Structure 1
Amino acid sequence: MERSEVAAVLAYIGRLDPRSIRTGTGEARDQLAQWHELLHDVPFTTAHGWDVREAIRVHVLDSPYPILPVDIARRWRAYRRDRLDRHTDPTPIADPDDPAAWRAELLRARNAVATGVAAYSTHLQIDRGGPSRHVEKRLREIGSSIPPAVSAELARYRPTRAAREAAVAKGAPDALGVGCEWCHAPVGAPCRRRRATPDGAARGSAIRAAPHPSRIDLAAARRGRRRLA
């Protein structure tokens, strides 16, 4: 706080607790100098929860003793500790191969949180919110986040998806992109075999390796309509 702010603090305290008022010019000047010496690094208010007037009100209500500048300074330190305890460092944007820049960014972020300039982050972050430029460039080159060799190895473990990808690659309509009107499989789910009992009820739910022909026709018709539109 500046000296003018400290003077405003002393005037505010005087209204709440007249015991702290100094009537003599010399006493008032010495009191102002003492309070400014101890509170020059304490802000009057911050954007995130600190207000020196609230600290004063709490002390006046909770303590029978006149407030001292150290009482405010201690509350400010407790405020800083509390914010840092709640804060989880987000991943810096700086290059991790540059330790000095990495550390400087962490310190700037922590200081901003501790002093109430910035909001604290309460969640651990795996990354900084998106793929790096190198990853995006690589994805544009290969067209998929899974390398072709790995995708080929996985094909035998997920035949439905492999058949779908192969069909789309050949230019066929994406049958799983629509629901099946025959077996009522939802979008994205494989078709299932429907067998009817003598009384007309449906039974059986084995997954089909290929979509029902009516589903393929429906996907083709919808793709044709989109092209015409």
Structure 2
Amino acid sequence: MERREIAALLAYIGRLDPRTIRTDQGEARDQLDQWHELLGDDNDDVPMTTRHGWDARIAARQHIRTSPYQILPADIARPWESYRRNRLARHSDPTPSVDPDDQAAWTAELIGTRRAVAAGTAQPAQARAITTGRHAVNQKLEARLREIGSCIPPAARAALAPYRPSRAAREAAVAQGLPDALSVRCAWCLAQPGEPCRRRKIGPDGSARGTAPCSTHPSRLDLATAQQAEQVQQPAVA
């Protein structure tokens, strides 16, 4: 605060608590010098107000309202330090806009942003929360998925086909209207939907030592065929 702001604050406090009023000119000057020394112009300056919630008059009024003791500069400085700590605790450093290879500029922007947040001239930058549910889905992304039918574009899917032949064969079969065996649970090896069938590895002593992927069990394909036929019949019945 500047001297004139501190003088205005002391005048405001004097209206609320007459004990702080100094009638002698020398005492009033000493009081103003003391408050300016503790709250005034330096790196730890306590401002009169900020754009984001701080007002020294509110801190003074709160102290006078709740404490029987005469107000001191520390009763303004303590709430200000709490205000600064709270804002910095809610601040997550955003990525600076400068070239990351310029370490000096990168650090300077980070420090400048933190000081602005602590001083109340900028709002804390909070990390974006992870959201879930249908309402959190981006509408443009949803429309794009409906358009292409998959999160993998057709061109990318075709380029990946040589590197995953089993999946490519499965997708081709589904495109032709054939049942997708991996859409159901296998009753033989208990493979879950989306997982390939597996066969047990039996050790010399007859106990199971593990499992290994294998071709789809016939019973699973039969179950997928029956499920597909049932799904086709349901709309017809309706």
* Pairwise TM-score range, normalised by the shorter structure: 0.5 to 0.7
Say yes or no: does 1:122 pair with 2:126.
yes
TM-score scaled to structure 1, two decimals?
0.59
Structure 1 residue 157 displacement after superposition: 3.4
Q: SS at the partner of 1:94? A: coil
Is 2:84 aligned against 1:80?
yes
* CA distance 1:106–1:150, shift in 2 (3 Å): farther
> Which residues of structure 1 form unaligned runs of 5+?
127-142, 164-191, 203-229
Distance in 1 (alpha carbons) for counterparts of 2:160 and 2:96:
32
CA gap 1:195/1:19 in 2 versus in 1, 3 angstroms:
closer
8 A Cα contact 1:2 1:36, kept in partner: yes
Q: Could you say what the CA RMSD is over the residues aligned between the two structures, in angstroms?
A: 3.2
Closer, same or farther: CA 9–149 of 1 in aligned 2, 3 Å: same
Aligned-partner Cα distance in 2 for 1:13–1:69: 11
1:201 aligns with 2:237: yes
Match runs of 1:1-229 below 5 Å:
1-40=1-40, 41-123=45-127, 149-150=159-160, 153=163, 157=167, 159=171, 195-196=232-233, 201=237
Matched residue, 1:219: none
State the shift of 1:9 in Å: 0.2
Q: Hey, what's the Cα distance between the residues in 1 that align with 2:19 and 2:124?
A: 38
| Alpha-carbon separation, structure 1, partners of 2:160 and 2:59 | 61
Percent identity between the aligned chains? 56
TM-score by length of 2: 0.57
**How big is the shift at 1:195?**
4.0
In 2, Cα distance between equivalents of 1:196 and 1:85: 60
Paired letter, 1:104? A
What's the CA shift string for 1:36-62, capped at 9, x where partnerless?
A: 111111111101110011100111112
1:25 to 1:196, Cα distance in 2 relative to 1, 3 A: closer
Q: Helix, strand or coil: the match of 2:28?
A: helix
1:123-164 CA-partner distances (Å, limit 9, x unpaired)? 1599xxxxxxxxxxxxxxxx999698557646863737xx7x
Q: 1:150 to 1:100 in 2, by over 3 A?
A: farther
- Give how far 1:77 is off: 1.1
Q: 1:145, 1:43 → 2: CA distance?
A: 60
Alignment partners' CA distance in 2, 1:102 and 1:81: 23
Q: How many residues align?
A: 155
1:14 is paired with a residue of what secondary structure?
helix
| One-letter identity of the residue aligned with 1:4 | R
Q: Distance in 2 between matches of 1:147 and 1:26?
A: 85
2:179 is matched with: none
5+ residue gaps in structure 2?
131-152, 176-227
Q: 1:157 to 1:49 in 2, by over 3 A?
A: farther
Native 8 Å contact 1:91 1:125 kept in 2: no
Q: Match of 2:46, SS? A: coil
String of CA shifts for 1:154-195, please: whole Å, max 9, x gaps. 6863737xx7xxxxxxxxxxxxxxxxxxxxxxxxxxxx8764
